[in-house]
Chains A and B, each alone.
Chain A
Amino acid sequence: MLQFKLVLLGDSSVGKSSIVHRFVKDTFDELRESTIGAAFLSQSITIHPNDGNEANPKDVVIKFEIWDTAGQERYKSLAPMYYRNANAALVVYDITQEDSLQKARNWVDELKNKVGDDDLVIYLLGNKVDICQETPVVETSPESNEAGNDEQKVRAISTEEAGQYAQDQGLLFREVSAKTGEGIKEIFQDIGEKLYDLKKDEFLSKQNRQINGANNGQVDIHLQRPSTNDPTSCCS
């Protein structure tokens, strides 16, 4: 089993907690209260690595440990401790809120400056596609969009604009809806595969070492970035 750390960042009330809850519990709560501080959750997925090298590709279970942070300005000073050891960051904006993309850009900049690690996967997410008139263009099915069409809210950030930005910065990008669940599973599948690709050499070599070294064939590797939060290390 692989274990990765995720962090959700973004302006307040863009739907970070809703995305996490859609992923972890497959529920949506219309009246979710603002997050205070940060919440820690975990969820596992299975990916099917599809590399030609292996004759017999096996399913890989990936466990995500997710930091769902508060978007409020006040907690911003705490953010570094959440993203410092993250393998992936989900930067969320609200497609109906013009300035939420700017906040997302700030987060991306901060991540690139402070973390400065190419291995960090950054995923730009435009949430709340369900309440828009427009049909999102990329990767989403138009049928699932009709429910929320009565809403008067209009899209403030076009898919092209955000997509272009993501491409320039080398980010993964997707527009989703936590309310309908549209695109949510795919995010985590994408991240799982991407991280597996990045880490698989490390993973496989460790696996081999483990198999060779230990008598039992059990694989239980916590593959993650070196963590100062690791309770077993002394320097926390």
Chain B
Amino acid sequence: MNLNENYLDTEIPKKQLKPNKNGDYEGVAIVAPTSEPTTSVNMDETFFTKAPLAVTLTGDHSMSRSVSLNSLSTAYRTSTRTPSQARKPLARSKLLSADLTGSNDSIAQPTATLKRHSDPYFNWENDIRSRLAESIYSMETSVRGSEIQRRPYVSNEIPNVFKLSKLSDSSKPKDSQASYDKNFLIFTSAGKPIYCMHGKDEQIMSYTGLINTIISYFQVNGPSELKTISTYASGKRLTFLDKSPILLMAQSERGESSNELLNQLDFLYSYILSSLSERQLLRLFSKRENFDLRNYLETTDFENLNEICSLICNRMFPDLLLNSLQCLPFRHSSRVKLQNVILQQLDKRQDIPRGTLLYGLIIAPQNKLCCVLRPKGHTLHTTDLHLLFCLISHQFQNLDETQELWVPICFPKFNSSGFLYCYIKFLPNSAHNNEKSALVLISAQKDAFFSLKSFSDELITKLEGERLLKKINSAKGFKLSDIPAPMVHHFIYKSKQNVQYVMPHFEVNSNITLDSSQRLEYELKLKTYYQQLHGTVVRDNGNLLSRSILNFVKWSSKDNEDQTIDDPRMNFSELDEYVIGNSSFEQESVNMLGIAWVTPKFELYLIGNNGVVDKKVLLRSARKVANWCQKNESRLFISDGAVF
């Protein structure tokens, strides 16, 4: 973090340790004065990096508890307490407020100042730090009408302002359709079920009959086909995609637009095509309209559909939303060298004619595109690549580098009626065995395997010789703290020209490793923020509202008044506000501010830390992020790839 930033002095009003509007928690440590950016990721870096806390927060009790609370959760709710419960907190309130002031000072003052006062300051700081370390565990706070909760004081978690997800709600019996806030159904036009994300056969059978009737009614009587049924009261939405002989339906209570849901359905349909090809699908149904496609699909298909659905519903997977690919940040000179090596190798192989090798890809773990080899004037559609990436990350991940695969895949946007053949080999990686990059060579000829195999063997030897393989394996993404943009929790930057996006690593707290369910919860939360941010800049049909947009979106507890700023320099400015409904207990006041910034060159979606309410501050950070991304564009994005 850049300590020379003096944003705090000018932009943030002096900290006020005032009681909540309810005024009923006097004597309680105001752990997170929410108007203050004390919970920032960047602050954490400053405060903790020099001497890590003696006690690590790893997987600790308090975290998991607060997650299991599963509510508008965050690590430090300011909650109502009876005096007896407040005993312990009272004792620490002084410490805490002192600490928070201290940490603010340490940010606000340039490093030089710190050094001048070094001795007394650091002693004091060390003392605070060690006592804080204790307090992270021992502080007891409680939620009205609930059991005692232990929560850490310092966290940079973002609160969840959205309706409870059913994801982690395992206590409820999951037997009816209604118990899920999101579901996907695929069935035939004749009403036979093909796939259902949640629910058993018997349950969806009657459901599909009903849906078919409704859809047919609109086909016969309606002026146009039925796309969406929305109930405004409950916020439920049913969206249909008619790809006769297959019908797809999405059911969601998550506030997605029907266009988003249609995109998701189209992705599921694309998967089915990738497995069968449109020609085969039509052929199967041309013989018999009531053909049961289930018998034709394989276990792997259902597994993959499950995987894709969970990716769409529960994971941080902005690829579909932004219709772009995630790219592996890679040093520009290395990327150029990599492309040159690939092209040189291809040049040596004059026996591989055009058509034998259509495309080549190197895909880093977590579906990040590392390198593209493509013929001039041709690119692969992002949907096709998403499908390929899903297959590789899910289906083949437990293979190792001794195997080579030859897999027919139909790329629906490339040619929905034929198959392409993919040579897939995982690149050797000595460091992390579970994280492997894959080399994919795509051909139109089904017997091209041995040509591509020998090309791949030569290429891999060459890459190893040039030490490029090592560079690919050790390529790291970037962290938010690499960018001098304070007050930012997370962002996604999409380069429009390259149809690629980048985002920093998730780092909730460097001291906390999330277990898988916590991580899922965090991803879902983040996903919802981005989905709503993105929703403010697109029309119903999915197109951007305008070429240049700057939107601030504020999520706040309902008793917070909203503030509007109008920046006359911007083309378009509006403020959306999402208000949380009644909750059963009081929680930390939420003041989340997000930015959706669209220009002809890029799209930036950015979420500030909780409590950062000053739009100018956040906008300044957003500018820094955008500048940083533009400055590092050649490192972050693949502009052309290796073109032959």
Contacts and interface: CB of A to CB of B under 8 A. Distances in A.
Interface string A36-66: 1111111000000000000000000000000
Interface in A189-213: none
B403 A39 contact: yes
Where chain B touches its partner, the secondary structure class is: mixed
A193 to B, nearest CB: 25
A208 B453 CA distance: 31
B404 A39 contact: yes
Interface residues of A, number: 26
B234 interface: no
B406 A228 contact: no
Contacts of A236: 447-448, 450-451
A135 to B, nearest CB: 31
A102 interface: no
Contact of A229 (B299, B300, B449): B449
A37 B451 contact: no
Given A39-B404, A40-B405, A231 B450 contact: yes
Nearest to A229: B450
A78 B446 contact: yes
Interface string A155-194: 0000000000000000000000000000000000000000
Contacts of A231: 351, 450-451, 453-454
B402 A41 contact: yes
B402 A74 contact: no
Q: Which of A38, A75, A81, A236 has the most CB of B within 10 A?
A: A236
Given A40-B449, A231-B451, A72 B298 contact: yes
Contact of B298 (A34, A38, A41): A34
Q: Chain A: interface secondary structure?
A: loop
Contacts of A220: none
Interface string B394-431: 01101100111111100000000000011000000000
Given A12-B298, A231-B351, A37 B408 contact: yes
A36 B449 CA distance: 15
A25 B450 CA distance: 23
B232 interface: no
Nearest to B422: A37
B300 A33 contact: yes
A37 B454 contact: no
Contacts of A41: 402-404
Interface string B453-489: 1100000000000000000000000000000000000
Pick the most buried of B303, B402, B403, B408: most chain A CB atoms within 10 A of its CB: B403
A214 interface: no
B351 A232 contact: yes
B453 A40 contact: yes
A34 B447 contact: no
A16 B470 CA distance: 34
Contacts of B448: 236
Contact of A34 (B276, B300, B404, B405): B300
Contacts of B298: 12, 34, 72, 74
B405 A37 contact: yes
Given A75-B408, A78-B408, A81-B447, A36 B351 contact: no
B296 A74 contact: yes
A1 interface: no
Interface string A11-42: 01000000000001100010001101111111
A78 B422 CA distance: 13
Interface string A65-99: 00000001011001001000000000000000000
B408 A34 contact: no
A217 to B, nearest CB: 27
A118 interface: no
Contacts of A232: 351
Contact of A40 (B351, B396, B398, B406): B406
A173 to B, nearest CB: 28
A234 B351 CA distance: 7
B351 A24 contact: no
Interface string A215-228: 00000000000011
B457 to A, nearest CB: 10
Contacts of A230: 450
Contacts of A228: 447
A42 B451 CA distance: 17
A18 to B, nearest CB: 13
Contacts of B276: 74
A234 to B, nearest CB: 7
B58 to A, nearest CB: 29
B607 to A, nearest CB: 36
A81 to B, nearest CB: 5
B405 A38 contact: yes
Given A37-B407, A231-B351, A81 B446 contact: yes
Contact of B399 (A39, A81, A229): A39
Contact of A33 (B395, B408, B446): B395
B351 A38 contact: no
Contacts of B391: 36
Contact of B406 (A12, A33, A38, A74): A38
Nearest to A75: B408
A12 to B, nearest CB: 7
Contacts of A33: 300, 303, 395, 398
A42 B450 CA distance: 14
A4 to B, nearest CB: 15
Nearest to B448: A236
Contacts of B451: 229, 231, 236
Interface string B364-404: 00000000000000000000000000010001101100111
A36 B392 CA distance: 11
Nearest to B453: A40
A39 B396 CA distance: 11
A75 B275 CA distance: 11
A50 to B, nearest CB: 31
Contacts of B275: 74
Contacts of A74: 275-276, 296, 298
B417 to A, nearest CB: 15
A227 B395 CA distance: 31
A25 B407 CA distance: 22
Nearest to A236: B451
Nearest to A12: B298
B455 to A, nearest CB: 8
A24 B402 contact: yes
Interface string B433-457: 0000000000000111111011000
Most buried by B among A12, A42, A72, A75: A72
Given A24-B402, A36-B391, A41-B402, 8 more contacts: A37-B405, A37-B406, A39-B406, A72-B298, A75-B408, A78-B408, A81-B447, A228-B447
Interface of B: 275-276, 296, 298-300, 303, 351, 391, 395-396, 398-399, 402-408, 421-422, 446-451, 453-454
23 contacts: A25-B402, A33-B303, A33-B395, A34-B299, A36-B300, A36-B395, A38-B406, A40-B404, A40-B405, A40-B406, A40-B449, A40-B453, A41-B403, A74-B275, A74-B296, A81-B449, A229-B447, A229-B449, A229-B451, A231-B451, A232-B351, A236-B447, A236-B450
Closest 8 A/B residue pairs (Cβ)? A37-B407, A229-B450, A40-B404, A34-B300, A231-B454, A231-B451, A39-B403, A81-B447
